[in-house]
Amino acid sequence: MAACPFCEIAAGRLPANVVAQTDHALAFLDLRQAIEGHVLVVPRQHVETIFDIEPGLAGEVMRLGVRVAKALRAALQPAGLNLWQSNGAAGGQEVPHFHLHVQPRRVGDGLLRVYAGRPPAPASREALDALAARIRPFLSP
C-alpha cells in the first residue's frame, strides 16, 4: 500500500499550505482550488473513515473546521460555504484518510449539486417513521 499523503503532510514529509493546526488536527489548502479557499481539515492520526474515528478526535477536527470557516468568511467573504466529508468509493472519498472539506461557495459556481435534477418528492411521514425506527437501535450512547 502506498503511503497516505495526508499522513505524510501531517508528518512534514510532504509540503502543504497549512492554515491552522492543533495537537491532533491539521488544516491545509486543497491542491485543487475549484473555488479559492478550499481547505481540508484532517486528524494527524491515520483514520480512514468516519466509521473509524473516535468522537473526541472528530470533535477536534470539527472545531478546527469551524475556526477555518470563520477565517474564510472574514478573509474571502464568500456568498456561502459548504462542509462535507466523504466515506468510501461510493461516497466519493478519494484519499483513504478522514478529512473534512471546508469549501467557500459562490452563487452559480456549479459545485456540489445534491440532486442531479429536481429534488425528490418528500417521503411520507410513515416511511420516515419506519426508517427512524430501523436506525435508532444501532445508535451508540
Mind listing the pLDDT tens digit for each residue in 25-67? 999 999 999 899 999 999 999 999 999 999 999 999 999 999 9
Grid cell, residue 84, equals 462535507
Q: pTM for the full model?
A: 0.89
Q: Exposed, middle or buried, 134 (CB in 10 Å: 0-12/13-18/19+)?
A: exposed
Domains of the chain: 5-138 (3.30.428.10)
